[in-house]
């Protein structure tokens, strides 16, 4: 393929970074704004029959992206990445416009409308995600590709952090602004990509293979749904692993995926080209991505719970203000990623990707160990340094890994190849959320009740009230902290008779900013520490696999 002009390369990079900004902002912007959104709709997300709305608002977007990436990657290869990419911008923009006009005060119907529109918007985000990296690879010569991928990755991470911060700021004024904020970028991106790309990039002769698509999407969706609902209490358990729906979903998901693999091995035009795994760099790079996403997927969730449920309240921040402040305190992680993402991309163009991918995983592993050793009321500078190093490790790894994988693919397979890579990344994140949340909640649920009981009794709380407080489900308490709700305040509001039996001065103590964090700080950190040790083992294996990636330097070609 002939190298594109400097002007065209610059335009492609700016446009794809806009797409990364839009997709990543939409992924995270609702997290901090969830309390304001549910208040505006008049929905109580911590009520047992409405907790599913919270879960779908949090996870539905990524679930759709995970289950459609390979299909959409092949779609873009067949019909042209320019058309596919522009369609992604258009769907994302239409979704943002529709989300921003859902009326307030519409209760569960409004919540359901938001969830469905978020799923629709996620299809557009999946098209943008799968096409952007393929278009960059098509456009830039090998000697510049790593730098371009690094800039795209940096912008994507900036979008994730901007989403967290802007979600907290805009929700204060009107929760509809949370969805409308990306509209201008979406409109500009749609029109610009249509004029700049047309239907170009891709366009190969290959069927979409609908039957295999159904098998893949069913398998991934069932697995993701089962893992997601495993985090919802079921019966007397703090988790949902005993829920028949969870058991059936996790059992049937792999069956559909196995059927998909068997069908693909017999297909003349496979959707998920398993022959690509005969290429050692492609296989090693994708396995490293899977393990990397497994080790980091739940990190932001657990760190946010730690900040919002324990550390920030201990330092006088009211629960309802903790989501915004958590976004600010987590900025150092993204700063490390931003600082070293483009740098590692540029250096991998010159020296080869292997050394930087291995170094990134080593730094990332060390940062997980540093976080695991912190006490629940940690010194802020040490926490920020560990987060910065975590971001440095992620930034060093991402661009060299992506560049090495894409470089070994011919242009006709780059859409589906990137779809496969991104699918592994998203599957890893989904599994990571369920795995590490289960570890954290299991340890928390074992030790937190006793700690809550003894702390309550020591404060002079009547035993009947202390028993109710100690029985709060661990997953509910942690989810409440995650969305900026006082866990004990929400429990007592559900039992007005008990609340009225507590002297006012005791009620103020129980629902204050210190009682819950002091009672559950140690149990939470025990679960977090175990989660980090498991994540470290995965990251170390990813480092070993990264050593199998090519050390080839770019030579100015666009192959």
SS3 assignment, position 237: strand
Cα–Cα distance for residue pair 142/554, rounded to 1 Å: 5
Query: Where does 352-379 have alpha helices with state H?
Result: 354-372
> Would the pLDDT of 225 be above 60?
yes
Phi first, then psi: what are they for 298, rounded to 5°?
-95, 0
SS3 234: strand
Bigger pLDDT: 122 or 45? 122
**pLDDT above 50 for 555:** no
Which pLDDT value is given to residue 117? 96
Start-to-end CA distance of the chain, whole Å, equals 7
Please indicate, yes or no, whether the overall pTM of this predicted structure exceeds 0.85: no
In the numeric block, the tokens 């977007």 are attached to 61
Neighbours of 300 (CB within 10 A): 18
Tokens of 220: 């991934």
User: Residue 18 pLDDT > 70, yes or no?
Assistant: yes
Residues 440-472 have pLDDT tens digits of 888 888 888 899 899 888 888 888 888 878 887
Q: Is the pLDDT of residue 202 over 70?
A: no
- At 276-326, the pLDDT tens digits run 788 788 888 889 999 998 998 788 889 988 998 899 999 988 887 887 788
What local confidence, expressed as pLDDT, does residue 234 receive?
80
pLDDT for the residue numbered 554: 44
Residue-wise pLDDT tens digits, 158-173: 887 788 778 878 887 8
**How far is Cα 107 from Cα 96, in angstroms, rounded to an integer?**
20
- 384 band by pLDDT with thresholds 50, 70 and 90: very high
Model pLDDT, residue 412: 67
DSSP H stretches of helix in 42-141: 51-79, 81-99, 107-139
Assigned token pair, 154: 């940096």
pLDDT in tens, 390-413: 999 998 888 788 878 877 777 766
Confidence class of residue 1 from pLDDT cuts 50, 70 and 90?
very low
For residue 364, which of 532, 531, 524, 526 has the smallest C-alpha distance?
Answer: 532
Residue 315 pLDDT: 92
For the chain, the residue count is 559
Residue 494: predicted pLDDT: 64
Contact criterion met (CB below 8 Å) for 228 and 55: yes
Per the CB < 8 A criterion, the answer to whether 92 and 23 are in contact is yes
Of the candidates 191, 208, 190, 193, the residue with the CA atom closest to the CA atom of residue 77 = 208
**What pLDDT is recorded for position 363?**
96
Range in 187-201, 245-259, 307-321 the model is least confident about: 187-201
Residue 416 CB partners (closer than 8 Å, separation 6+): 70, 73, 74, 77, 271, 272, 273
| Under 8 Å between Cβ of 520 and 444 | yes
- In sequence order, the β-bridge partners of residue 237 are 234
CA angle 325-20-398, nearest 5°?
85
pLDDT higher than threshold 60 for residue 205: no
Q: Which ranges of 200-279 would DSSP assign to H, the alpha helix?
A: 210-229, 244-266
User: Does position 15 have pLDDT exceeding 80, yes or no?
Assistant: yes
DSSP state, residue 4: P
**What single-letter DSSP state applies at residue 103?**
P
The per-residue pLDDT for range 116-149, each reduced to its tens digit, is: 999 999 999 999 988 888 888 788 887 777 778 7
pLDDT of residue 48: 63
Q: Are 46 and 490 in contact (CB under 8 A)?
A: yes
Residue 554, CA distances (Å) to 60, 143, 352, 394, 550 in order? 39, 4, 7, 22, 11
Residue 360, pLDDT score: 92
Q: What is the mean pLDDT of residues 227-253?
A: 83
State pLDDT tens for residues 525-549: 999 999 999 999 999 999 999 888 7
Summarize the confidence of residues 53-75 as an average pLDDT.
80
Residue 483 has pLDDT above 80, yes or no: no
Q: Count of CB atoms within 10 A of residue 96's CB?
A: 24
Of 516 and 138, the one with more pLDDT: 516
Tokens of 94: 């239409």
Report yes or no: 55 and 232 within 8 Å, Cβ to Cβ.
yes
- Which pLDDT score is estimated for 557? 40
Angle between helices 6-41 and 107-139 (to 10 degrees): 170
Task: State the DSSP H helix or E strand holding residue 282, giving kind and residue range, or none if neither.
Answer: helix 280-296
């Amino acid at each position: 393929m002939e190298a594109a002009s400097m002007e065209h390369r610059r335009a492609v990079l700016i446009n794809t970074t806009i797409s990364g900004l839009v997709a990543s902002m939409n992924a995270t912007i609702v997290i901090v704004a969830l309390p304001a959104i549910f208040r505006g709709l008049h929905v109580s997300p911590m009520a047992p029959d409405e907790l599913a709305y919270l879960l779908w608002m949090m996870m539905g977007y990524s679930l759709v992206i995970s289950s459609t990436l390979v299909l959409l990657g092949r779609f873009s290869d067949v019909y042209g990445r320019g058309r596919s990419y522009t369609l992604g911008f258009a769907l994302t923009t239409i979704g943002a416009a529709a989300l921003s006009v859902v009326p307030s005060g519409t209760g569960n119907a409004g919540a359901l409308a938001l969830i469905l529109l978020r799923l629709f918007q996620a299809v557009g985000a999946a098209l943008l995600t799968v096409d952007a990296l393929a278009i960059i690879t098509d456009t830039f010569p090998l000697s510049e590709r790593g730098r371009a991928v690094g800039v795209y990755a940096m912008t994507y991470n900036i979008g994730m952090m901007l989403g967290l911060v802007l979600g907290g700021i805009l929700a204060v004024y009107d929760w509809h602004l949370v969805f409308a904020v990306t509209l201008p970028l979406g409109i500009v991106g749609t029109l610009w990509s249509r004029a700049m790309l047309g239907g170009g990039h891709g366009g190969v002769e290959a069927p979409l293979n609908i039957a295999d698509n159904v098998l893949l999407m069913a398998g991934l969706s069932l697995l993701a749904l089962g893992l997601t609902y495993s985090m919802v209490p079921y019966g007397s358990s703090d988790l949902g692993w005993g829920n028949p729906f969870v058991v059936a979903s996790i059992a049937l998901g792999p069956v559909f995926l196995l059927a998909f693999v068997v069908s693909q091995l017999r297909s003349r035009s496979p959707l998920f080209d398993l022959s690509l795994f005969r290429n050692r760099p492609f296989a090693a790079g994708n396995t490293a991505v899977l393990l990397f996403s497994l080790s980091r997927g739940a990190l932001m969730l657990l760190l946010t719970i730690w900040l919002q449920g324990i550390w920030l309240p201990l330092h006088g921040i009211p629960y309802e203000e903790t989501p915004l402040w958590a976004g600010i305190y987590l900025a150092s992680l993204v700063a490390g990623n931003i600082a070293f993402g483009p740098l590692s991309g540029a250096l991998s163009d010159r020296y080869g990707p292997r050394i930087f991918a291995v170094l990134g995983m080593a730094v990332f592993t060390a940062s997980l160990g540093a976080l695991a050793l912190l006490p629940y009321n940690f010194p802020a500078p040490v926490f920020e340094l560990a987060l910065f190093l975590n971001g440095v490790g992620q930034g060093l790894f991402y661009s060299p890994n992506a560049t090495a994988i894409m470089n070994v693919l011919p242009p006709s397979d780059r859409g589906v190849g990137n779809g496969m890579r991104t699918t592994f990344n998203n599957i890893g994140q989904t599994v990571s959320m369920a795995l590490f949340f289960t570890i954290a909640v299991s340890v928390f649920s074992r030790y937190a009740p006793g700690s809550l009981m003894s702390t309550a009794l020591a404060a002079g709380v009547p035993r009947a009230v202390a028993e109710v407080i100690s029985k709060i489900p661990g997953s509910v308490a942690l989810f409440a902290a995650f969305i900026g709700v006082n866990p004990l305040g929400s429990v007592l509001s559900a039992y007005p008779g008990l609340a009225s039996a507590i002297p006012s001065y005791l009620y103020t103590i129980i629902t204050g900013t210190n009682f819950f964090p002091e009672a559950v700080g140690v149990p939470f950190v025990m679960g977090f520490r175990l989660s980090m040790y498991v994540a470290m083992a995965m990251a170390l294996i990813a480092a070993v696999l990264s050593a199998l990636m090519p050390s080839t330097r770019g030579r100015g070609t666009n192959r």
